[in-house]
């Protein structure tokens, strides 16, 4: 296998090559570091590359491999991974997309990082994010903008834009990411990848508390459905003190992703979201093509309507308050986050609690209305990927309005806490288009089975961006 093919090999297959001693962790890590050195100056996908730490860890793992029974190794032993720069790793810079904090070193690992380390991964560094994760594109002040490997004039999405750009270009094997309103799913769709936003409580937020009323979820962006399932198996689980949690799946998510038989399911779809309207033709077509394939597989399909009118205002109130929660001084924030900060400071505690209650009551109605369906197919974004800098000259209020319209299919399921998986669904003007499959509460397992069925029928692993 040549080096380029190896860089784009799914992580589980790479792990098997390491177990078979056909490949060493050191060789694989050096391969990705070489690609980062060659390509990342064009992409802006990494804020920090910890090459020395990665090589030292990979060397130690290579030595361990020589003296250890391969069957006792953790599932992703020796596999290089990127970590989003909103996720703290002890003694590794974590800027949160704020240039003034680019050298800040946290003293702790997030729980998801602890599990990633336990899984055997080699950490390559920290990927680019929008400042404080507040925007669906990745252009924080003081850093180069992250660019889409399929066309460098376009964004890879946000806030996990660096994660999706790095993985899409073959600069890591898996990308850790997070999603508070589409921040993982959007970038996966923009770059032709798989993205899993777990159900609320599936992955611990420890050691921190829940700062946005259950909207945030840690997940992953991957090349294949099986990689996504195995990654979720690894990072899931309760940490004492978590405000909410879910039991581990039985059997595993990977078992569901590799199931040989699939029972017929009842699946809903929508291409229109009131009060925003119909998705752009390219995004509609991706949904229609997907549901046609599902119908051909024997699933029952039904079109539905979704009305988000009662969600938008309370969600915006909660969203702008998140910048206030960060505690960041106004002077180190870029202008749009200064505006968010000012708006959030105008929301009283009573208004905030009212917004939370309104959001939760809306979610009760939505979840109840979807209970009869096993899954829901939706666009990821309402229109195609935007250009880098396309909204740079707009006012903060205009950017907020356009952002909510663009990502409208995503935040709903952060609010309800339902799981969603994004899969590639074709191309438009040379750029990937994705769809999201949404499950019942705590219902990731059937989503993995369904997504794997679509992947097997129309494989996407062979597609690579031109820069690769």
List 24, 82, 178, 183, catalytic entry: 183
Spatial separation of the C-alpha atoms in residues 6 and 229, rounded to whole Å: 21
Spatial separation of the C-alpha atoms in residues 90 and 182, rounded to whole Å: 26
Q: Kindly list the distances between the CA atom of residue 344 and the CA atoms of 314, 322, 408, in Å, as whole numbers in the listed order.
A: 12, 7, 21
User: Which of 137, 185, 191 is CA-nearest to residue 159?
Assistant: 137
Spatial separation of the C-alpha atoms in residues 18 and 12, rounded to whole Å: 10
Spatial separation of the C-alpha atoms in residues 411 and 215, rounded to whole Å: 8
Burial profile 14-35: b = 16 or more Cβ within 10 angstroms, e = fewer: bbebbbeeebbbbbbbbbbbeb
Annotated active-site residue 164? The verdict is: no
Annotated active-site residue 402? The verdict is: no
The DSSP code sequence of 25-39 is HHHHHHHHHHHHHHH
List 45, 82, 84, 326, catalytic entry: 84
Question: Kindly report the CA angle at 233 between 231 and 236, in degrees rounded to 5?
Answer: 100
List 45, 130, 159, 168, catalytic entry: 159
420 bridge partner residues:
197, 438
Does residue 185 sit in helix, strand or coil?
Answer: helix
The DSSP code sequence of 118-181 is HTT-EEEEEE---GGG-SSS---TTSPPP-BTTBTTB---SSSHHHHHHHHTTS-SEEEEEESS
Annotated active-site residue 84? The verdict is: yes
Spatial separation of the C-alpha atoms in residues 206 and 216, rounded to whole Å: 12
427 bridge partner residues:
432
49 bridge partner residues:
125
Q: Which residues are catalytic?
A: 84, 159, 183
């Amino acid at each position: 296998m040549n080096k380029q093919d190896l860089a784009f090999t799914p992580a589980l297959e790479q792990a098997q090559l390491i177990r078979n001693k056909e490949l060493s962790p050191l060789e694989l890590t050096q391969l990705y570091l070489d690609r980062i050195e060659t390509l990342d100056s064009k992409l802006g996908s990494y804020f920090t590359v910890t090459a020395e730490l990665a090589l030292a860890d990979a060397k130690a793992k290579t030595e361990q491999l020589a003296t250890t029974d391969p069957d006792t190794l953790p599932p992703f032993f020796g596999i290089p991974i990127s970590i989003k720069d909103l996720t703290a790793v002890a003694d590794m810079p974590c800027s949160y997309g704020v240039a003034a904090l680019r050298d800040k070193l946290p003293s702790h690992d997030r729980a998801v990082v602890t599990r990633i380390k336990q899984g055997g991964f080699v950490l390559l560094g920290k990927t680019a994010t929008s400042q404080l994760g507040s925007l669906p594109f990745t252009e924080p002040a003081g850093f180069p903008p992250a660019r889409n490997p399929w066309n460098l004039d376009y964004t890879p999405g946000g806030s996990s834009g660096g994660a999706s750009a790095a993985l899409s270009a073959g600069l890591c094997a898996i990308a850790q990411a997070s999603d508070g309103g589409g921040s993982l799913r959007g970038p996966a769709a923009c770059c032709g990848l798989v993205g899993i936003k777990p159900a609320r409580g599936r992955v611990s937020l420890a050691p921190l508390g829940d700062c946005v009323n259950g909207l945030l979820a840690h997940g992953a962006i991957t090349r294949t459905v099986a990689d996504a399932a195995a990654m979720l198996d690894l990072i899931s689980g309760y940490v004492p003190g978590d405000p909410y949690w879910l039991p581990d799946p039985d059997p595993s998510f990977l078992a569901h992703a590799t199931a040989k038989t699939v029972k017929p399911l009842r699946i809903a779809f929508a291409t229109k979201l009131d009060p925003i309207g119909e998705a752009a033709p390219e995004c509609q077509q991706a949904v229609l093509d997907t549901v046609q394939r599902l119908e051909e597989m024997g699933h029952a399909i039904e079109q539905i309507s979704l009305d988000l009118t009662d969600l938008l205002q309370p969600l915006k109130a909660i969203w702008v308050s998140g910048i206030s929660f960060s505690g960041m001084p106004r002077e180190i924030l870029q202008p749009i986050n200064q505006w968010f900060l000012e708006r959030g400071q105008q929301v009283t505690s009573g208004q905030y609690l009212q917004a939370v209650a309104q959001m939760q009551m809306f979610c009760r109605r939505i979840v109840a209305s979807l209970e009869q369906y096993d899954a829901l197919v939706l666009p990821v974004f309402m229109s195609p990927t935007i250009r880098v800098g396309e909204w740079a000259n707009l006012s903060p209020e205009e950017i907020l309005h356009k952002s909510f319209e663009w990502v409208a299919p995503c935040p709903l399921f952060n609010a309800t806490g339902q799981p969603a998986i994004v899969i590639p669904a074709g191309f438009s003007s040379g750029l990937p288009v994705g769809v999201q499959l949404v499950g019942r509460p705590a219902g990731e397992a059937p989503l993995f089975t369904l997504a794997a069925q679509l992947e097997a029928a129309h494989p996407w692993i062979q597609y690579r961006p031109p820069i690769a």
